[in-house]
Amino acid sequence: MKFQRVKAVAKKEFLHVIRDWRSLIMGLAIPMLLLFMFGYALTLDVDQVPLMVWDQSNTPASRDVVSSFTGSRYFTLAGYTDKYREIERAIDERRALVALVIPPDFARRLDAGRQARVQALVDGSDSNTATIALGYAEFIVAGYSGRVALERLGRTSGAALTQPITVEPRVWFNADMLSRNAIVPGLIAVIMMVIAALLTSLTVAREWETGTMEQLISTPLTGPELIIGKLVPYFCIGIVDLILSLLVGRYVFQVPFRGDRPLLLAMSILFLIVALALGMLISIVGKSQFVASQFAMVATLLPAFLLSGFVFPIENMPFLLRIFTHIIPARYFVTILRGIYLKGVGLSVLWGEALFLVVFGGVVLTVAMWRFRKKIT
């Protein structure tokens, strides 16, 4: 392998990228657009749930229950009503997600020392949000019920009572419990995987379509020289995308960073090489730019978004899908990013993920070079 040949191919590819404004937009603008769109639009936080209230009791005790809901950060009062029909209409129109119905005998049963019930109607069309909102409601009612029980025992015994057990939560690594802090690092992995693979998937296929591959074949270029030379410009674009993504994550989305920056850079470069190699292999296998781009999207976007643990926990997936996720490079890089970003861990913890990326990238590059030699002989 001669450096001058690699440099010549890289210069040719750089000129093509600079002259083709569409490639520049795809390589620089689209990653930032995706980062802002998903960063702001994609959230798993469920708070400020709109609450409709039908207080049939209208007593200090019932108003205390309502204030327990509206005084928390989980619920916001959407309005009062006096009939089920209005509750149904509010839920249908998405003006309310939860409705709280307090029966007329609520205060009377509490005063008599009997069990009182309240009804919570939840919109189950979004099962995940409904489950979380119902959990919030049960938590608030349980807290109110505990306070009432202690007050009742206090009046009976004449002594001030406190709860025998209290929970003092301490959240590590994401103290604010913001889903954005976990989503943005994972989003960087998805964007790098998609963009890098999509850009390089067109390189060799474009040479075949434009008829310039025969000219390259007639030169003394070897397969490895051509592949490495074509990867260099897109590697530089990927580094720029990485730096911009890290800056946006830190200073726009305020994602905390607790890890080692050189380690993050090294792991990102490793993953970028893996993504570029995968795109190059796709470009070599498919002679058509259309086929290569479509296959690149299927092979990178869907697995990186759905099977990397970026949004959906891998532990909740079916067994066969959990097995399949072990060959998804984005899965390991999402783990690396979250570990370095939020936990501040090092290679002593992340060595397994790094080793997989090294092996995967080496295998893909080797296969790409072997396939390309097979075509030009």
Residue 105 lies in a domain: yes
| pLDDT reported for residue 374 | 45
Average pLDDT over residues 160-175: 70
345 pLDDT more than 60: yes
Residues 327 and 308 in one domain: yes
pLDDT single digits (tens) 78-101: 889 888 899 899 888 888 999 999
| Residue 129's CATH number | 3.40.1710.10
| pLDDT reported for residue 356 | 94
Sheet arrangement for strand 75-80: 75-80, 49-55, 98-102, 119-122
Residue 168 lies in a domain: no
Strands 119-122 and 49-55, by their bridges, are: unpaired
| pLDDT reported for residue 158 | 60
| Residue 25 structural domain | 3-43+178-376
pLDDT single digits (tens) 108-126: 888 887 888 888 999 888 7
The C-alpha angle with vertex 79 and arms to 78 and 80, in degrees rounded to 5, equals: 150
Residue 167 lies in a domain: no
Tell me the pLDDT of the chain averaged across its residues: 82
377 pLDDT more than 60: no
SS3 120: strand
pLDDT single digits (tens) 356-368: 999 998 998 888 8
Domain end: 108, 126, 157, which one? 157
Residue 225 lies in a domain: yes
| pLDDT reported for residue 351 | 92
Out of 282-286, 337-341, 366-370, pick the least confident: 282-286
Residues 102 and 147 in one domain: yes
Residue 194 lies in a domain: yes
| pLDDT reported for residue 359 | 94
Residue 59: alpha-carbon gap to chain centroid: 45
Residue 243 lies in a domain: yes
| pLDDT reported for residue 12 | 78
Residues 61 and 193 in one domain: no
Q: DSSP letters along 31-93, please?
A: HHHHHHHHHHH------SEEEEEEESS-SHHHHHHHHHHHTSSSEEEEEE-SSHHHHHHHHHT
Residues 278 and 324 in one domain: yes
Residue 169 lies in a domain: no
| pLDDT reported for residue 50 | 92
Residues 152 and 255 in one domain: no
The C-alpha angle with vertex 111 and arms to 105 and 114, in degrees rounded to 5, equals: 75
pLDDT single digits (tens) 220-262: 777 777 778 888 888 888 888 888 888 888 888 888 888 888 9
Residues 63 and 151 in one domain: yes
Distance between CA atoms of residues 200 and 293, nearest Å: 9
Residues 82 and 11 in one domain: no
| pLDDT reported for residue 1 | 67
Q: Which of 13-17, 163-167, 183-187 has the highest mean pLDDT?
A: 183-187
Residue 162 lies in a domain: no
Residues 291 and 224 in one domain: yes
Residues 37 and 107 in one domain: no
Residues 95 and 206 in one domain: no
| pLDDT reported for residue 360 | 92
Q: Which of 42-46, 237-241, 292-296, 349-353 has the highest mean pLDDT?
A: 349-353
Rounded to 5 degrees, φ, ψ at 49 are -70, 125
Average pLDDT over residues 48-69: 89
| pLDDT reported for residue 170 | 78
Distance between CA atoms of residues 215 and 226, nearest Å: 12
Residues 264 and 369 in one domain: yes
Residues 217 and 275 in one domain: yes
Q: Structural domain tally of the chain?
A: 2
| pLDDT reported for residue 52 | 92
Domain end: 102, 127, 157, which one? 157
128 pLDDT more than 90: no
Domain end: 95, 124, 157, which one? 157
